Structure 1
Amino acid sequence: MLVLLIAVIHDTYNPDWPCREILKALEDQGVERLFLRISKISSRIGEKPRFWAGSRSLDDLNGAFVRSLGSIVNVEQMVRRITLLEHMESYGVTLMNPLDPLLTSRDKYRTLYKLELKGVPIPKTSISEDLRTAYEYSKKLGKLVIKPLIGSRGFGSVLVDHPEVSFRILKTLASTRHPLYVQEYVPKPSRDIRAFVVDGSIIASMYRYAPQGEWRTNIAQGGEGEPCKLEGEFEDIVLKAVEALELWYAGVDIIEGPEGPVVVEVNGSPDWEELTMVTKVNPAPSIVKCLIKKLKC
């Protein structure tokens, strides 16, 4: 009987909570498992073994969950890590999520245009490096959100309702050569919805309520969760969004706009500790079973 070897890839010294849950679910399935820091994985070209973690060859690795590429890295480190994962995929290591969809989900610009191509409702957004263009667009929108191009958990997102305040923020970003990501503010209740999708099915969802005096509903920003069940148009749009990005599992953030549901973000390596506490559903076993199924196909 073939015994699978599956890794969980992050860049922390110790596994965080989702990584620990995946490792436990792998153990429950009788799978050999490794926790690997991506900065400690090395590769070789022109000889075997091709992949290493310290002195251990990784050429027997069947699959891996890519949970993080690292949070503070330079351009060359990021290029090296992306190419490493591409190299591993090319030699038969099945990544979850697959590399290209994962990279899409990390890039808000790429995510939104792919969603729009598939007819998924998204907020009107301008992405530029030109200060005047971004400023003029902010005047057109009035109330808007300025976000980092790459990021999660609501960090760095700013709600602005005056164009001159927008200008000051945008000028600062432009001076440090950051892309200018300006998005319309879609009116909504003081909540949004986080839906968790695995292998084409919504396995759990919750409302996330913004704390008093805060517009962001992210749990990392003090939001509180409540279980909910998605049906009809909301369920269809969540599944359509995940399918559009070709993700095997994802967290989808959706808001109840005046004209219906709007998808604001799709996370290809979502956390789920709060979701589990709120809904009593732990996605880890479903995620692990999905990858095992892909490996056996």
Structure 2
Amino acid sequence: MEQDKIIIGSEEWVSLPDLNIPAIKARVDSGAKTSALHAVNIEPFQRNNEAWVSFDVYPLQDNGKKRIRCQAFVIDKRVIKSSTGNRESRYIIKTPITIGNESWDIEISLTNRDSMGYRMLFGREAMIGRMLVDPENSFMMGRMSEEEVSHKYQADVTFKNGLNIGLLASNPELYSNKRIIEAGQRRGHKIEFYNLRQCYMKLDAQTPEIHYRGGKILNGLDAVIPRIRPSMTFYGCTLTRQFESQNVFCLNKAAAIRQARDKIFSLQLLLKNGIEIPTTGFANSPLDTNDLIKMVGGSPLIIKLLEGTQGKGVVLAETKKAAESVINAFKSLNANILVQEFIKEANGKDLRLFVINGKVVAAIQRTAPPGEFRANVHLGGIATPIRPTAEEKRIAIKASKALDLDVAGVDIIRSSKGPLLLEVNSSPGLEGIENATNKDIAEQMIIAIEKKLNWKPIIED
């Protein structure tokens, strides 16, 4: 009977007692079949010959200090289509939920919801036979203030010796930068965002200083994470080098960033270290266009402007005539041109391996959207988690070491000759790979700093 059903709003506070989550704000969505919970560091394991999973939940939006470590029995693993249209294989668990005075078991999929506005989605399967939704209202089962929510959780753990970390970047609203700040705070450190353009330095033998807007002196930092956009490479690396000269640890040194940004120099270094790449030609507005095309095996071929980023300035020339036209057009710019053999068998796919401190911590396959040859998530490509081969891991680790990078995004393409290295990124983005793999890579970056500085937490009394 409809009159026996509970009426809930478009958002409600719920609890998941078996997961030790006393309060989490859920988005009520009758358009979604299965409920979903924000979970990272998802690891399957066996218990009494049964499939279980362990995972971390950060139940409060924009609060990285509240972390719940959970374990649950796996009832299924399903491919679920997200609201963004991506299809993702997720673990499904069954656990009690409490809304108001009502409790019952529901199925929940585990996924990274960091880019979403709510840490939980409450789907229609959990409501059937029990509830009606009034989309014009919210919190019909009871509101909670920040103080009430905070009281339900244990006090934050704070450390006497938390590190003082600076994030050196250009945009504080970028997903990657927000996640790194959150991860640093969660691990008990003081971490602040510093805009590259608003930093300036004093070069002096006795009292060298780095200042931030308003005259704040940054000499007291323990570590810096440089996240330098290509247009700011020169100034950002100069600033990073100044921190290094003042014995501040930098997670990626200035010299490593500069050589990774120099596409040709980086390829030369990689080849010198025995790492295979697609056959590549390089010229400055060449007169002998035919020989340049022939050099890389003819058409189809890739033509790139050396200064291009995130797929910009990259063209696929499918015929010799098209290649000549593009190269001649670039000649008028007096530009440095890079031409590269086209790996047809890759079928619009490449791999991104994320390396931290000489270890591959996550890997995805990127698939180009229809009609596009570049497998780039910025261009609408789809990212899916993969398990790289031992050879692909070896290449990624060797490449990051060759360029002396602590943190690197290594792009690899699978060819008939075996894996080939495309590019190494010194400031790899986190959003695509974290959402696809459900791994907390931002935390891994903070842990890398802790290890480099031999930091051990001292808990305050």
**Which of 31, 43, 51 matches 2:189?**
31
What residue in structure 1 maps to residue 305 of structure 2?
A: 148
**Which of 209, 212, 217 matches 1:57?**
217
Could you tell me how far apart the structure 2 residues matched to 1:207 and 1:81 are? 30
Q: State the SS of the aligned residue for 1:188.
A: helix
Q: State the SS of the aligned residue for 2:178.
A: helix
Q: Given that residues 238 and 254 in structure 2 are in contact (C-alpha distance below 8 angstroms), is that contact kept between their aligned partners in structure 1? A: no
The alpha-carbon distance between structure 1 residues 282 and 124, as it changes in their structure 2 partners (threshold 3 A), is same
Q: How does 1:52-201 map to 2 (within 5 A)?
A: 52-54=211-213, 55-69=215-229, 71=231, 79-140=234-295, 141-190=298-347, 191-201=349-359
Q: Given that residues 278 and 340 in structure 2 are in contact (C-alpha distance below 8 angstroms), is that contact kept between their aligned partners in structure 1? A: yes
Q: How does 1:232-271 map to 2 (within 5 A)?
A: 232-271=390-429
The alpha-carbon distance between structure 1 residues 69 and 192, as it changes in their structure 2 partners (threshold 3 A), is closer
Q: Given that residues 253 and 263 in structure 1 are in contact (C-alpha distance below 8 angstroms), is that contact kept between their aligned partners in structure 2? A: yes
Letter in 2 for 1:105: A
Structure 1 gaps of 5+ residues are none
Q: Which has the higher strand share?
A: 2
Deviation at 1:173, TM superposition (A): 2.4
Deviation at 1:184, TM superposition (A): 1.3
Q: Given that residues 5 and 32 in structure 1 are in contact (C-alpha distance below 8 angstroms), is that contact kept between their aligned partners in structure 2? A: yes
**Which of 445, 450, 453 matches 1:287?**
445
Q: State the SS of the aligned residue for 2:326.
A: helix
Name whichever of 49-58 and 140-149 sits farther off. Answer: 140-149
Q: Given that residues 105 and 266 in structure 1 are in contact (C-alpha distance below 8 angstroms), is that contact kept between their aligned partners in structure 2? A: yes
Letter in 1 for 2:409: G
Name whichever of 158-167 and 223-232 sits farther off. Answer: 158-167
The alpha-carbon distance between structure 1 residues 70 and 145, as it changes in their structure 2 partners (threshold 3 A), is closer
Q: In the TM superposition, what whole-angstrom CA distance separates every residue of 1:136-169 from its partner, at most 9, and x where no partner exists?
A: 2124422211123234322221111223322332
Q: In the TM superposition, what whole-angstrom CA distance separates every residue of 1:93-118 from its partner, at most 9, and x where no partner exists?
A: 22111111112222211221111011
What residue in structure 1 maps to residue 95 of structure 2?
A: none
Q: Return the index of the structure with the highest Cα Rg.
A: 2
Q: In the TM superposition, what whole-angstrom CA distance separates every residue of 1:261-296 from its partner, at most 9, and x where no partner exists?
A: 101111111002111111111210001110222123
Deviation at 1:79, TM superposition (A): 3.8
The alpha-carbon distance between structure 1 residues 135 and 8, as it changes in their structure 2 partners (threshold 3 A), is farther
Letter in 2 for 1:9: L
Q: State the SS of the aligned residue for 1:253.
A: strand
The two structures have a TM-score, normalised by structure 2, of 0.60
Pick 1 or 2: higher relative contact order, CA cutoff 8 A, min separation 6.
Answer: 1
Could you tell me how far apart the structure 2 residues matched to 1:148 and 1:283 are? 31
Q: Given that residues 224 and 250 in structure 2 are in contact (C-alpha distance below 8 angstroms), is that contact kept between their aligned partners in structure 1? A: yes
Give runs of ≥4 in structure 1 deviating > 4 Å. Answer: none
Could you tell me how far apart the structure 2 residues matched to 1:171 and 1:239 are? 38
Could you tell me how far apart the structure 2 residues matched to 1:51 and 1:277 are? 36
Deviation at 1:259, TM superposition (A): 1.0
Q: State the SS of the aligned residue for 1:205.
A: strand
Q: Given that residues 285 and 330 in structure 2 are in contact (C-alpha distance below 8 angstroms), is that contact kept between their aligned partners in structure 1? A: no
Letter in 1 for 2:268: Y
The alpha-carbon distance between structure 1 residues 95 and 135, as it changes in their structure 2 partners (threshold 3 A), is farther
**Which of 157, 163, 173 matches 1:15?**
173
Letter in 1 for 2:328: K
Q: Given that residues 200 and 248 in structure 1 are in contact (C-alpha distance below 8 angstroms), is that contact kept between their aligned partners in structure 2? A: yes
The two structures have a TM-score, normalised by structure 1, of 0.91
Q: CA RMSD in A?
A: 1.9
Could you tell me how far apart the structure 1 residues matched to 2:390 and 2:267 are? 22
Letter in 2 for 1:61: L
The alpha-carbon distance between structure 1 residues 201 and 131, as it changes in their structure 2 partners (threshold 3 A), is same
